[in-house]
Chain A
Amino acid sequence: MRSRFFLRLLQRSLANRPGKWLTAILAVALGASLVCAALTLAVGMRAKMRQTLRAYGANILLVPGAGPGAGGGEPLLASMPEDVLGKLSELARGLPLQGYAPLLYAVAEIGPHRAALVGTWPDAMRRVNPGWRVDGGWILDRADDAGAILGASVARKLGLTVGASLPLMVQGRTRTFRVVGILSTGGSEDEQVLVTLRAAQEITGRAGQLSLIQVSALAADRGVEDVARALEAGLAGVEARTQLRLVMAEERLLARLSLLLGLIAGLVLVASGLGVAATMSASVLERTREIGLMKALGASRSRVGTLFLAEAGAIGFAGGLGGAAAGLLLAEAIARSVFGGGVPLTATPLLVSVAMGSAVAGLASLIPVRRAASIEPGVVLRGE
């Protein structure tokens, strides 16, 4: 009976003064939406940024482990058996690999010039390096043994364009390739000639051999090292080298980014909490007469206090929920304009913002509620 009366009181209070409550709810919602957006971005951007950076090349190199194949550290002399690839394809199913490409290096002579020759799986190479710019076409088939991709510097130096024929000589053996495309990376690839792995193995007379394997692993945080260890454990005679330059710089930057967005979320939380506190105390001030009347009619201190806290809780919950939803949309919109794709929406920021909305509204109204509960009905009703 009493609780039903209480609920009706609460409901009427909320229904009869929509403008007032709307302001408070709006204040909570604004804060909650920003907190939710900042948290969603702090969590989601790490994954997004990591994916973006994966466009710029392999982060793990598989090279022959110590032994006769290591070639004294010279990639030109290093070799490992091609069978590694079979085992790697089994391992890859259980690991977060974006792609991997085998490479075989040689020095080729093109007329009077010398250039580095790289045999690889062209399709896999593209998956490891999606950021590469190519003019013309790409070798589409791992078995297209006549196709060659020229580095931009080689093409310029030799005056060759797409469609031209390219005679290559390695250790006295000559073979003619057809230029399929021209690759411009700004890196050492500009001075290389890229052909299929089989063609390179045939022309160098190194059937069944590889120099190294480039691996692009899409692992979270310190996970790249774990992936490298897993690869090493699964592949005998192979050393997995984590490219610390990329991995460490990535981690350092991503940690800063998350910290920054986290701090902003905290700042917004404090600011919106203060705003809510101001709104709540204004609303209590305005209702002193009403409270006086309630107390004159026999409401106890705790009853008045509970009523106001319940109102604050309802405001906080409503504002938090609305704000969190808006915040997710905001985060989505920001991620879309920055990355051209949304961030994964997780439940945590949503729950955190709703909980925080209620908590902030409740906490912020504690002081005014205490003041309300200790109002003297006689004084207030007289009109002071």
Chain B
Amino acid sequence: MLPRLLWKSLRGRKSRIALASAAVAVAAALAAALLSVALDISEKVAVELRAFGANIVVVPKQDALEVEIGGLRYVTAAQAAYLAESDLPKLKTIFWGYNIVGFAPFLSAPVEVGTGKALLVGTWFDREVALPRGPRKFTFSTGNVREVASEETSFRTGLKAIAPYWRVQGRWVEDAANEAMIGGALAGRLGVSPGDRVSVQAEGTTRTFRIAGIVRTGGPEEDQIFVDLAAAQALLGLPGKVDRVQVSALVKPDDALAIRGRRNPQGLPPEEYERWYCSPYIDAIIYQIEEAIPAAKGKILRQVAEAEGAFLGRMTLTMILVAAVAIAAAGLGVMATMTTTVLERRQEIGLMKALGAEPRQIARQFLLEAGVCGLMGGAVGAAAGLGLARIIGTQVFGVPIAPNPVTVPFVLGLALLVALLGAALPTRRAARLDPVMTLRGG
């Protein structure tokens, strides 16, 4: 009896059911879209934040204090220490190697450029790096072994990848052997422009470079001249050496565990140590870099890292709050619609009672109807919401937002719950009414 009643009711009242389902669907779409955005935004913004440039700098481990003024290192000959260029691919083999989105080595020294002094910087502009193959295994003292697959066999990186904020007049270096880029202030002092040639003299050797582009950053780069690393190594007589590597890594904002692990990660209990090691905190990534290249010391570019942390945390929290509020509001809206739908049918309820239906039977039928609306609307809405999230992602970040496995079940459950709740209250009231009153039209 009940299935037939339900079927008839659903078929005979197509427009009303459609209306209620549509209301649920609209709310569910909103909820699914906002939830997807809120859950994925932290990752999207983390990628976006790489526009701040590198957040880690790797230098040779040494005993002496570093004397660095305005990006220039003042080292005595006895202190000079270097890293091996051949160690660089190891940066991508650490546990969080995937999160290293770019790095660039540097070798710098004061030289004569044209008629004046300037800092020569050798670097990779845009380089394809071959990576070691095969999965990497990490064993922990808890007995767990974590394996990281490595599908990447090569990695494209260099200055271009870690300095998206550079404003270049002219173009980037293409012919690595003969071209250079020059800082804006230095170019102004020398009176050169792209296409001109400059001579660079160091250790008695002179070489001429064609200027490909002029760099504006507002930072120390303004007074430097950039050439390919190999050219700088040859000029300075330091083959295979680099003195600093800037690394751009996707990191997770610090939380309580990150702060506990910062000073002495090995002092953490084994489970916590494993969790710390396997979270992309900036300190964990530096720890892993120092493990992979024992001669290296990693330093956080704190200004960049903290500004990023502040931004990421706040943006994520804002989105979560907005999504929560919107989902609550959409839920209230659906409840109101369901209530209206039931209230409209008070006469019908009266008739059913007059014909001998029990309040429980009536409630069951109405709740089933509401459940069907909730599920149908929820399913359609969740699908539409995922589509909306994709569009939002593409519009805002240029990359679609990945659907989270939590979203669909959560939205379906919520739609069902809200539809049932919205229908339950008025149904109970209507079922208790005197049929005579309702049938008279009161």
Contact = CB atoms under 8 A, between A and B. Distances in A.
A245 B118 CA distance: 22
A174 B76 CA distance: 21
- Give the size category of A's interface with B: 35 or more
B187 to A, nearest CB: 11
A198 to B, nearest CB: 20
A45 B322 contact: no
B344 A338 contact: no
- Give the size category of B's interface with A: 35 or more
Contacts of A268: 30, 326
A278 B332 CA distance: 15
A52 B314 contact: yes
What is the interface of chain B mostly: helix, strand, loop, or mixed? Answer: helix
A253 B223 contact: no
Interface string A101-128: 0000101000001111000000000000
A344 interface: no
B374 interface: no
Contact of B314 (A49, A131, A242, A260): A49
Interface string B1-42: 000000000000000000100110011011001100100010
Contact of A264 (B34, B185, B333): B34
Contacts of B72: 74-76
Contact of B65 (A55, A114, A245, A257): A114
Contact of B344 (A242, A257, A264, A282): A282
A73 B119 contact: yes
B403 interface: no
Given A33-B329, A66-B189, A191-B68, A252 B317 contact: no
Interface string A178-210: 000000011110010000000000000000000
What is the interface of chain A mostly: helix, strand, loop, or mixed? Answer: helix
Interface stretch (B122-130, B270-278, B297-305): B297-305
Given A249-B52, A264-B34, A23 B339 contact: yes
B64 A113 contact: yes
A199 B159 CA distance: 39
B406 interface: no
A271 B118 contact: no
B333 A249 contact: no
B395 A278 contact: no
**Listed residue (A23, A186, A259) with the most chain B CB atoms within 10 angstroms of its CB:** A186
B321 interface: yes
B70 A212 contact: yes
B307 interface: yes
A286 B30 contact: no
Given A157-B65, A243-B218, A259 B49 contact: no
A334 B311 CA distance: 15
8 contacts: A41-B318, A73-B117, A73-B186, A241-B185, A244-B217, A249-B53, A261-B322, A263-B395
The 6 closest A-B pairs by CB, nearest first: A73-B223, A186-B302, A75-B70, A241-B218, A72-B117, A56-B307
